[in-house]
Amino acid sequence: MDEDISLIDEFLQGNESSFNRLVLKHQKRVFNIIYAILSNYEETNEAAQDVFVSVYRSLKNFRKESNFATWLYRIAVNQARNRYNKVKRIARVTYSIDDPIYAEEGEIERSIPDTNTAVNELEKKELNRKISDSISQIPMKYKEVVILRDVEGMDYMEIQNVTGLNEGTIKSRLHRGRCFLKDLLKKAGT
Amino acid sequence: MFFEGPTQKGGHMKCDDIKNLLSEYIDGALNENDKAAVSLHLDLCRDCREELNLIKNAISTLKTIQPVEPPQDFVIQVRKKIEARRGLKEAIRFLFFPWHIKIPVEALATVIIAGLLYSVYHESMPTTSTMPIREEGLVTQKKVAMPTEKNVIPAIEKKDEELSVQPVTVCVQGRGLSIDKDFAKEVKGEAQAPVRQEMPAPAPMEKEVEEDSCRMLKVGESSESTDGGGLFMAAESVVSCQSIKSGRRRGFSRSAGDSKRTLISLFINLKNPSVDVPKIKRYLLSLGASGVKVTALPNSSKKIIRFRLESRYFPKLINRLIQMKAINPASKYSNVSGAVVDIELVISFA
């Protein structure tokens, strides 16, 4: 967090490259929060860019007592919500064959596998696809809470700050979202 | 469903209640009492234990999702977007700030430009010709050459308000005289008579002529429509053309269905009827004239060609007649108003 505040200070003094470093630091997490909600890479890319454009214009108003990451993720969740509501079909889109598949060792190539390792990768890919499919079917208001808690690992307080929801609502939506997911995964055979 | 086990003092918890607490139980967010109650229930209830395991499994599955990498040039894309929006913002700022100066100035400029465009458009629109009457020539519009004092006959107001037909206009060998209903109101009897250059003997109009609605007026005579069509007066011998075809109104030329049509009578001279009449007829057809009909006047060598012609071709017709030496080139012929005009050529043969 101290690093974030330093970068913000430098940026506000006119150092544009500090903003670039801020983006580089947080881009992946922002990207994945949005991707988990939208389930579409291109839409996620557009939304994530808009998040940082919004941050660029609003940084002068950021109160440094707050947590920058929480503030940033709030913008990201709002952006994802807006896009989701605008194009509701995105939530129904299943895993796209054009979406890049990343494992720890990097992107998985889409060539026909002919080794056991490749088969394992394919199985991973298939599992990923089923999970993404299931997540995309969870209603939006439950999904965002589930993503922030179970994918991003935020605690209830952080989720409160990001979503603006009270704790009781968060607990309730979290439970409902997990039950949804449980049933979907059961149906998908995972 | 109630779990099967010893009843706790204070009531046992239903399975539905337990299931609703499972998420918090997993997250460690329950208070001590609730946590103990749920634990006890789970020890005894297989269904709720199974539900717990399914939720835990779902959470674990979520954690296996592979993270997605943003594009390698993501920062560059963000930068480009920032620059694009900055350019737009600066353009808006340039156009509209400061508000209190730029908005009024731009609004005024818009109004001025709109006004200029409108006036240019308005100027370029064709207007109908309203040439004033002349002493000679064919005139169909609103002025009149008044006769001399002797011949002045006060005009009578037209009675028929519906009549909007253009005035009767006649041409007597290049001389024109027109009186219209509006002018009839204004006439006070002081206008000058047109200068007469020639005064051919007017041809009597026979009733047998198909559209015989003309009669000759003597100098000083006035003509009034019996059905209130209007009044006009003759300073010279003229042919008044009364209602045509419609059979409903007299006094002013009018064709059925066209309250704005003008009737024009032209007196022309031709040398060789057998050649010139067909020539004229062919020419009329080439101008798009309709209803061309040649009629011979009984007990006379004269003929009448009646037709309907678009006003814009009237000057061409005049020029052609001048070329054929059928009318006096020195005469002045005004343009006619209205889109279409009814014409009758009264042909005398030299």
Question: What distance in Å separates residue A141's CA from the closest CA in chain B?
Answer: 17
Q: Convert the pLDDT of each residue in B234-284 to its tens digit.
A: 333 334 444 344 434 443 344 444 445 678 888 888 888 888 899 999 999
Q: Convert the pLDDT of each residue in B168-196 to its tens digit.
A: 444 434 343 333 444 444 444 444 444 44
Domain assignment of residue A20, yes or no: yes
Q: Inter-chain contact B69–A107, Cβ cutoff 8 Å? A: yes
Specify whether A82 is located in the same domain as A123.
Answer: no
Cα–Cα distance measured from residue B343 to residue B331, given in angstroms and rounded to the nearest whole number: 18
* Degrees, nearest 5: CA angle A130-A134-A140: 150
Specify whether A24 is located in the same domain as A64.
Answer: yes
Q: Output B81 or B158, whichever has higher pLDDT.
A: B81
Q: Convert the pLDDT of each residue in B288-308 to its tens digit.
A: 999 999 998 877 788 899 999
pLDDT score of A108: 52
Q: Output A133 or B309, whichever has higher pLDDT.
A: B309
Q: Are A114 and A56 in contact (CB under 8 A)?
A: no
The total domain count for chain A is: 2
A-chain residues near B79 (CB < 8 A): 20
Q: Convert the pLDDT of each residue in A28-69 to its tens digit.
A: 999 999 998 888 899 999 999 999 999 999 998 888 777 899
pLDDT at A23 over 90: yes
Q: Inter-chain contact A135–B62, Cβ cutoff 8 Å? A: yes
Give the nearest partner residue to B67 out of A102, A171, A185, using CB atoms.
A102
Which residues are B177's β-sheet partners? B170
Q: Two tokens at B99?
A: 């508000």
Interface membership of A99 toward B (CB under 8 Å): yes
Best of B17, B54, B61, B90 to disrupt the A interface (most A CBs within 10 Å) is: B61
Q: Name which of A100, A82, A88 is nearest A42 in CA terms.
A: A100
List, as one string, the DSSP characters of B170-222: EEETTEEEEE-HHHHHH--S-PPPPPPS--PPPPPPPTTSTT--EEEE-TT-E
Which residues are B215's β-sheet partners? B240
* Degrees, nearest 5: CA angle A49-A52-A54: 110
Question: What distance in Å separates residue B106's CA from the closest CA in chain A?
Answer: 28
Q: Convert the pLDDT of each residue in B192-228 to its tens digit.
A: 444 444 444 444 444 444 444 444 444 444 444 444 3
User: Is the entire prediction scored with pTM above 0.80?
Assistant: no
Region B121-125 average pLDDT: 83
Specify whether A29 is located in the same domain as A76.
Answer: yes
Cα–Cα distance measured from residue B249 to residue B52, given in angstroms and rounded to the nearest whole number: 102
Long-range contacts of A21-28 (CB under 8 A, 24+ apart): A22/A55, A23/A52, A23/B74, A23/B75, A23/B78, A24/B75, A26/A69, A26/A72, A27/A52, A27/B70, A27/B74, A27/B75, A28/B67, A28/B69, A28/B70
Phi, psi at A8, each rounded to 5°:
-65, -45
Band the pLDDT of A157: cuts 50, 70, 90.
Answer: very high
Domain range spanning residue A166? 114-187
Question: What distance in Å separates residue B86's CA from the closest CA in chain A?
Answer: 10
A87, A103, A128 — which closes off a domain?
A: A87
Interface membership of B82 toward A (CB under 8 Å): yes
Q: Name which of B128, B195, B146, B215 is nearest B332 in CA terms.
A: B195
Domain CATH for A54: 1.10.1740.10
Specify whether A64 is located in the same domain as A133.
Answer: no
pLDDT score of B227: 41
pLDDT at B163 over 70: no
Q: Amino acid identity of B231? A: L
Complex ipTM > 0.95 = no
Q: Which residue of A has its CA nearest to B50?
A: A182
Lowest mean pLDDT of A37-46, A97-106, A161-170, B211-220, name the range: B211-220
A-chain residues near B34 (CB < 8 A): none
pLDDT score of B85: 81
Domain assignment of residue A30, yes or no: yes
Among positive and negative, which fits the CA dihedral B30, B33, B34, B39?
A: positive
* A 23-52 residues inside an 8 A Cβ radius of B: 23-24, 27-28, 31-32, 35-36, 41, 44-45, 48-50, 52
Domain assignment of residue A136, yes or no: yes
Domain CATH for A147: 1.10.10.10
Specify whether A81 is located in the same domain as A120.
Answer: no
A46, A69, A87 — which closes off a domain?
A: A87
Domain assignment of residue A102, yes or no: no
Q: Are A139 and A180 in contact (CB under 8 A)?
A: yes
Q: Output A22 or B157, whichever has higher pLDDT.
A: A22
pLDDT at B161 over 70: no
* B 21-80 residues inside an 8 A Cβ radius of A: 22-24, 27, 29, 54-55, 57-59, 61-71, 74-75, 77-79
Best of A30, A131, A154 to disrupt the B interface (most B CBs within 10 Å) is: A131
